[in-house]
């Protein structure tokens, strides 16, 4: 994703800046998704593994990137405290 576009994106909940997820965190998240342990803000179980995502500055909220497009919808966000 272009740096200029990335600089304009923010979390719709906290309004904090977003950045690409690290490979290590993405791997851990996908492992938990495979086990059926991850839910979104609407309490729906995430079933499909993610290929990319954006995370908030504090690393606590995640937004999937689907087909190259960030899904910045509050109800589709994923709280990363589920990985602890």
Task: Give the residue from 84, 80, 77, 67 showing the smallest Cα distance to 26.
Answer: 80
Reported as a pLDDT band with limits 50, 70 and 90, residue 5 is confident
Per-residue pLDDT, averaged over 53-72, amounts to 95
> What are the residue ranges of helices labelled H in the chain?
3-8, 23-34
**pLDDT at residue 24 greater than cutoff 90:** yes
| Mean pLDDT, all residues of the chain | 93
Measured from the Cβ of residue 24, the count of other Cβ atoms closer than 10 Å reads 8
Reported as a pLDDT band with limits 50, 70 and 90, residue 7 is confident
Per-residue pLDDT, averaged over 41-59, amounts to 96
Note the pTM of the prediction, 2 decimals.
0.90
Structure tokens at 2: 């272009």
């Amino acid at each position: 994703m272009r740096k200029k576009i990335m600089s304009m994106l923010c979390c719709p909940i906290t309004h904090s800046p977003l950045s690409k997820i690290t490979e290590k965190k993405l791997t851990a998240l996908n492992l938990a998704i495979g086990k059926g342990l991850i839910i979104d803000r609407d309490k729906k179980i995430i079933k499909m593994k993610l290929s990319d995502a954006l995370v908030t500055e504090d690393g606590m909220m995640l937004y999937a990137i689907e087909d190259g497009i960030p899904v910045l919808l509050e109800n589709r966000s994923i709280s990363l405290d589920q990985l602890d």
